[in-house]
Amino acid sequence: MNDFNKIFRCGCCEEAYPVIHKHSHHKTPRALGGKDTIDNLIDLCPGCHDALHNVAYKLMVKHHGQAKVIDSLSIIFKENEGAKQRCLDLAVQVRNAMITQKDRGGHEPNELVNVASTIRRQHKTLIEARSKELKLSQEAYVRGCVLADLAKRFPTAQIDLGEESIIIKQLKKRKSF
């Protein structure tokens, strides 16, 4: 049975989707010490995963109050109050992990920014294939590539590669970078 025939249920909207569209979301982000464990992962459809990250980011930014965030969730999940609440709960978990990490010497929530880009479908497919090949999330692969390029281009900028240094080592070992 191929991935188009297997079905999973989104942990947010609770709709059924082919497993090929499943996104595994970390409740506590890996960058903040979250593990790849059943307790820390939830399977989401692409739309809910994008909405969740958008909401989590808005909760980090001081000029977006929770009321505005709930209003935007009402637009996204028009007929599904349960999905709206689950998305908000997951986003609050991410925000709380950020704040807790700050107390341990991590980042202020407002220090992190979400950088997004639109790419051609054919390139997205290549990113998916390459990240699977390297056993990395697509996000980690792209982040590692971008930060490695910036570190190479701006050597005096003291770019902290953190966990991305592992990704860069994997890429260099395979002579891919």
pLDDT at 95: 74
Burial of 22 (C-beta count, 10 Å sphere; 0-12/13-18/19+): buried
pTM of the predicted protein model: 0.53
For the chain (177 residues), the mean pLDDT of every run of 10, in chain order, is: 78 91 86 83 90 76 68 82 86 75 54 58 81 76 77 71 62 58
CB 170 within 8 A of CB 161: no
CB 93 within 8 A of CB 128: no
Domain boundaries, the chain: 1-114, 115-177
Let me know how many helices (H) and strands (E) the chain has, helices first: 6, 4
Closest CA to 93 of 16, 5, 161, 11: 11
